[in-house]
Amino acid sequence: MGLVPVVDQKSGFCYGVIRAIKQAETYLKDNNQLKSLGSIVHNKLEVERLHSIGIEVIGHIELEQSKNTTLLIRAHGEPPSTYETAKKNNLKVIDCTCPVVLKLQERLKKGYEEIKPENGTIVIFGKKNHAEVNGLLGQVNGDAIVVENKQDLEVIDYTHPITIFSQTTKDPSAFSEIVAEIKKKAKEAGLPSDKLTTHNTICKQVSSRHPNLREFSASNDVILFVSGKESSNGKVLFETCKSTNPRSYKIERESDILSEWFNPGEKVGICGATSTPTWQLEKTAQYIKSL
């Protein structure tokens, strides 16, 4: 078909994921196996690769039963209870919590300590039950409200102070909309403006991908967005592509690609989530060349 693949050089793993994978690979040079609490990255093919070099993914139930071994905590972070269990079970911890997430955990805890004496509310804009969000909730003993959309805002008490944070991988424009709606409701309830505090805690590296992907999507005829089905960041970034270029398709692997998506000689933009490895983007490009 003479298709021209173009790989987005700004797509691929974010710093936190790169750091976690490097630390895991370094450990496995001298050891046969490493337990990871949850998948290091939400990408099935990369998880399979990591499994092949010795990474065993476990959940919190298996964590309770693991003793005298080494545990990797991934970039998403964990609540304090996880570290307590690790200490109790004599586990050596390789802590790969992303520095951006770690800073957010600290800010959230501080914000909670400041607002609680006034019977205030901590609001986290994020995906319910997401690993990062669970880690954040653990910093405040679960005493926070997680909102995914405007419907979730009804349960907030707008008569007392409110402090808002965001999961690090959310869409900046969606966060702005949520904040605007909270401000509106707080004003209607008579809450003084200085009693509502907003912290834009979205990772700068992630937020910069939105304008980049809009530009990238507009400059190519067809977009192939490579991402694992479990990646929440992938869902958000794909919508950015789709809103700019209707001929955007989300795939997990090359076998998902249909030749009917393309016309001869078209430019095919290949991009992905912060959980998509560069090797997978390059492999997709090679496949497009072969069509």
Instruction: List, by residue number, the catalytic residues.
Output: 132
Q: Which residues of 25-61 are buried (b: 16+ CB within 10 A; e: fewer)?
A: eebeeeeeebbbbbbbbbbebbbeebeeeebebbeee
Angle at 52 (CA atoms; ends 75, 273), nearest 5 degrees: 40
- Give Cα 259 distance to the centre of its chain: 31
How far apart (Å, rounded) are the C-alpha atoms in residues 16 and 102? 11
- Contact partners, residue 130, CB within 8 Å, separation at least 6: 76, 167, 232
Residue 82's nearest CA partner among 35, 150, 27, 24 is: 35
Using CA atoms in the order 125, 274, 106, 172, what is the torsion angle rounded to 10 degrees?
-40
Are 199 and 163 in contact by the 8 Å Cβ rule? The answer is yes
**What is the CB-side half-sphere exposure of residue 38 using CA atoms within 13 A?**
22
Which alpha helices (DSSP H) does the chain contain, by range?
Answer: 15-28, 44-52, 60-65, 80-88, 99-115, 131-139, 172-188, 204-207, 209-218, 232-244, 278-290
